[in-house]
A and B are shown apart, each in its own frame.
Chain A
Amino acid sequence: MTAANQPAELLELLKRQNPVQLILAIPHSESRDAINVAATQIRAALAKFAGKPRTVILYSDTLNGSPGEESPPSVDDVDLQTVPFPLAPVTASRFEALWPVLQLSQALSVQACCLWTRSPESLTAVRADSLLRPVLEQQFDLVVPRYNRRRFESLINSAVVYPLTRALYGQRIRFPMAHDLALSANLTRRLAEPNHKTGQPLRRDWITTYAACQGLRIAEAALDLYLPPADSSDLSKVLAGVLDPLMSDVEQNALHWQRTRDSQATPVFGNSSVPAEEPLSTDVIKMIETFQLGFRNLLDVWKLVLPPATLLELKKLAALPADKFQMQDDLWARTVYDFTLAYRLRLMSSDHLLRSMTPLYLAWVAAYALEVQGVNARDVELRLERLCVSFESQKPYFLSRWRWPDRFNP
Chain B
Amino acid sequence: MWYQVQQALQDSSNRIITGLANLLPGFVALVVAVIVSGLLAWIAGLILRRFLRRIDFDGKLVRASGAGLADLSPAGSPTVLVVRLTRWAIAFVGLLIGVAAFDATLTSRLAGQFFAYLPSLVIAALLLLVGNAAARYVSREVLIGAVNMNIQYARLLGAGVKWLILVFSAALALNHSRTRACRWAGGSEFREPDARKEPR
Contact = CB atoms under 8 A, between A and B. Distances in A.
Interface stretch (B43-51, B80-88, B149-157, B189-197): B149-157
A345 B148 contact: no
Interface stretch (B23-31, B62-70, B108-116): B62-70
Contacts of A346: 62-63, 66-67, 70
Interface stretch (B4-12, B139-147, B167-175): B139-147
| Most A-side CB within 10 Å, residue of B67, B141, B143, B155 | B67
B57 interface: no
A298 B67 contact: no
16 contacts: A290-B147, A293-B150, A293-B152, A297-B143, A298-B144, A345-B59, A345-B62, A346-B62, A346-B66, A346-B70, A348-B71, A348-B76, A348-B140, A349-B66, A355-B144, A355-B145
Size bracket, chain B contacts: 20 to 34
A348 B71 CA distance: 7
A298 B147 contact: yes
Nearest to A294: B147
A290 B68 CA distance: 28
Interface string A344-384: 01111110100110110000000000000000000000000
Given A348-B67, A355-B148, 20 more contacts: A236-B144, A289-B150, A290-B150, A293-B152, A293-B154, A294-B148, A297-B146, A297-B147, A301-B140, A301-B143, A301-B144, A304-B76, A346-B67, A347-B70, A349-B66, A349-B67, A350-B67, A352-B144, A355-B144, A356-B144
A386 interface: no
4 smallest A-B Cβ distances: which pairs?
Answer: A346-B67, A236-B148, A346-B62, A297-B155
A107 interface: no
B139 to A, nearest CB: 10
Contacts of A293: 147, 150, 152, 154
A294 B152 CA distance: 10
A200 B4 CA distance: 101
Size bracket, chain A contacts: 20 to 34
Contact of B71 (A236, A298, A349, A358): A349
Contacts of A345: 59, 62
A235 B148 contact: yes
B64 to A, nearest CB: 10
Nearest to B63: A346
Contacts of B143: 297-298, 301
A293 B146 CA distance: 10
Contacts of A315: none
B46 to A, nearest CB: 18
Interface of B: 59, 62-63, 66-68, 70-71, 76, 137, 140-141, 143-148, 150, 152, 154-155, 158
A293 B62 CA distance: 30
B147 A359 contact: yes
Contacts of B144: 236, 298, 301, 352, 355-356, 358
Given A346-B63, A352-B144, A297 B70 contact: no
A289 to B, nearest CB: 7
Contacts of B76: 304, 347-348
| Most B-side CB within 10 Å, residue of A235, A348, A359 | A348
B147 A348 contact: no
| Most B-side CB within 10 Å, residue of A290, A293, A347, A405 | A293
A345 B148 CA distance: 24
A52 interface: no
A190 interface: no
Nearest to B153: A297
Contacts of A15: none
A256 interface: no
A286 interface: yes
Interface string A266-300: 00000000000000000000100110011011100
Interface string A233-254: 0011000000000000000000
Contact of B148 (A304, A348, A359): A359
A352 B147 contact: no
A346 B63 CA distance: 7
A355 B155 CA distance: 16
A345 B67 CA distance: 9
| Most B-side CB within 10 Å, residue of A297, A348, A358, A359 | A297
Contacts of B152: 293
Interface in A287-329: 289-290, 293-294, 296-298, 301, 304
A298 B59 CA distance: 23
Contacts of A347: 62, 67, 70, 76
Contacts of B70: 346-348
A297 B153 CA distance: 9
A388 B71 CA distance: 34
Contacts of B150: 286, 289-290, 293
Contacts of B68: 349
Contacts of B141: 352
Given A290-B147, A345-B59, A346-B62, A352 B154 contact: no
A294 B150 CA distance: 9
Contacts of A405: 59
A347 B145 CA distance: 19
Contacts of A297: 143, 146-147, 154-155, 158
